[in-house]
């Protein structure tokens, strides 16, 4: 597969992951009425781990297992990107609003960019910085008019969601090193096993509230596990390994756009002109963030940045 096709497929994979993840806020909010935030994570990612284990087992061409050091790094990325991040997200969404969550998610690319600059000492093209800032401004316009006034705990929920962005940035940087030599299925499987184990331990804090979910809640939990966990992470990890972290996370600024479209189609909500305008700005920012200055790169002949710890 040539470079252009590979890049296009990677972009499409991350966009598809954004589409799945955009629905997770509304679905999680529904499930929170019957199931605690830690228990949701435990059920969701345990189901996902079982499904991924079956996929790994049935593969025709098994990939070599990572060595002990790489497994530790992958497990750590799973604990960060699954257990820690989704604990913060689930509790944050419960205390705050879905609109606030969408707005705060739009700031994640900026956090990831800063981490890339520190860890990889990579140069960030000005045009890419502009794309991220433009997409962030668009996401603000999308959710600003739809933001609902929360209760006394809303501020604390927003802080948890903001901390989730720092964790997600760390996850992206770590995966660039931990995932070397591993395909998306293997990488996602080991991450999900670690994340599910962490959530199972955390869910014991809610053991007193455990009860059998009804049919609707069970279906929604299944959707979170299959579409948002297995499908979303497989697609995202596939794309992430073929582009820089900041570009991949910038594409996730499409999440609030997809969320608004879903609200219109599924819930019959109306969209204001400012939100439509914000969606257009987000798409423009994402497109700008994907621009590669090939001529400059070819003249400079600068190799891909190496992790700080592996420099000679």
Higher pLDDT, 96 or 208: 208
Which tens digits make up the pLDDT trace of 211-237?
Answer: 888 999 999 999 999 998 888 878 887
pLDDT at 302 over 60: no
Average pLDDT over residues 154-177: 83
Tokens of 48: 């996902």
pLDDT for 295: 40
pLDDT score at 267: 53
CB 157 within 8 A of CB 93: yes
In the chain, pLDDT over 90 holds for what percent of residues?
18
* pLDDT recorded at residue 196: 94
Q: State pLDDT tens for residues 278-299.
A: 778 877 887 777 675 444 433 4
Look at residue 66 in the predicted model and tell me its pLDDT. 79
Question: pLDDT tens for residues 32-53?
Answer: 889 999 999 999 999 999 998 9
Query: Per-residue DSSP letters for 98-129?
Result: HHHHHHHHTTHHHHHHHHHHHHT-----HHHH
Q: Across residues 6-16, what is the average pLDDT? A: 88
- Percent of residues, the chain, with pLDDT higher than 70: 83
pLDDT at 294: 43
* pTM of the predicted protein model: 0.71
User: Between 92 and 233, where is the model more confident?
Assistant: 92
CA angle 259, 152, 253 (to 5 degrees): 25
CA distances from 198 to 11, 15, 207 (A): 30, 28, 15
Q: Residues 51-57: contacts with CB within 8 Å, 24+ apart?
A: 51/225, 51/226, 51/230, 52/185, 52/188, 52/189, 52/192, 52/193, 52/230, 53/189, 53/193, 55/185, 55/189, 56/185, 56/186, 56/189
Tell me how far apart the alpha carbons of residues 124 and 113 are, in angstroms, rounded to a whole number.
8
Contact 238, 13 (CB under 8 A): yes
Taking residues 142-159, report their average pLDDT: 65
List of residues 6+ apart from 125 with CB closer than 8 A: 293
pLDDT grade for 83, boundaries at 50, 70 and 90:
very high
Helix (H, G, I), strand (E, B) or coil at 153: coil
Q: How confident is the model at residue 156 (pLDDT cuts 50, 70, 90)?
A: confident
- In the Cβ-directed half-sphere of 142, how many Cα atoms lie within 13 Å? 31
């Amino acid at each position: 597969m040539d470079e252009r096709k590979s890049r296009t497929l990677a972009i499409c994979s991350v966009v598809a992951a954004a589409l799945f993840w955009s629905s997770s806020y509304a679905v999680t909010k529904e499930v929170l009425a019957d199931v605690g935030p830690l228990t949701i994570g435990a059920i969701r990612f345990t189901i996902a781990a079982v499904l991924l284990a079956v996929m790994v087992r049935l593969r025709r061409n098994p990939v070599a297992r990572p060595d002990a050091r790489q497994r530790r790094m992958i497990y750590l990325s799973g604990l960060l990107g699954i257990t820690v991040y989704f604990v913060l997200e689930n509790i944050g969404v419960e205390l705050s609003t879905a609109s606030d969550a969408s707005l705060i998610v739009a700031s994640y690319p900026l956090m990831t960019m800063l981490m890339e600059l520190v860890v990889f000492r990579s140069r960030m093209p000005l045009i890419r910085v502009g794309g991220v800032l433009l997409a962030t401004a668009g996401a603000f316009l999308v959710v600003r008019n739809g933001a609902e006034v929360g209760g006394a705990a809303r501020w604390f929920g927003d802080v948890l969601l903001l901390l989730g962005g720092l964790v997600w940035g760390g996850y992206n940087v770590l995966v660039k090193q931990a995932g070397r030599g591993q395909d998306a299925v293997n990488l996602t499987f080991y991450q999900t096993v670690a994340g599910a184990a962490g959530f199972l331990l955390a869910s014991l804090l809610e053991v007193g509230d455990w009860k059998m979910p009804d049919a609707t809640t069970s279906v929604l939990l299944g959707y979170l596990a299959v579409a948002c966990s297995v499908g979303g992470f497989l697609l995202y990890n596939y794309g992430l390994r073929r582009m820089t972290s900041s570009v991949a996370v910038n594409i996730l600024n499409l999440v609030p756009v997809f969320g608004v479209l879903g609200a219109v189609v599924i819930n019959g909500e109306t969209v204001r002109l400012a939100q439509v305008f914000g969606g257009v700005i987000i798409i423009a920012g994402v497109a700008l963030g994907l621009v590669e200055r090939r001529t400059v790169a070819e003249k400079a002949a600068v190799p891909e940045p190496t992790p700080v710890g592996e420099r000679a």
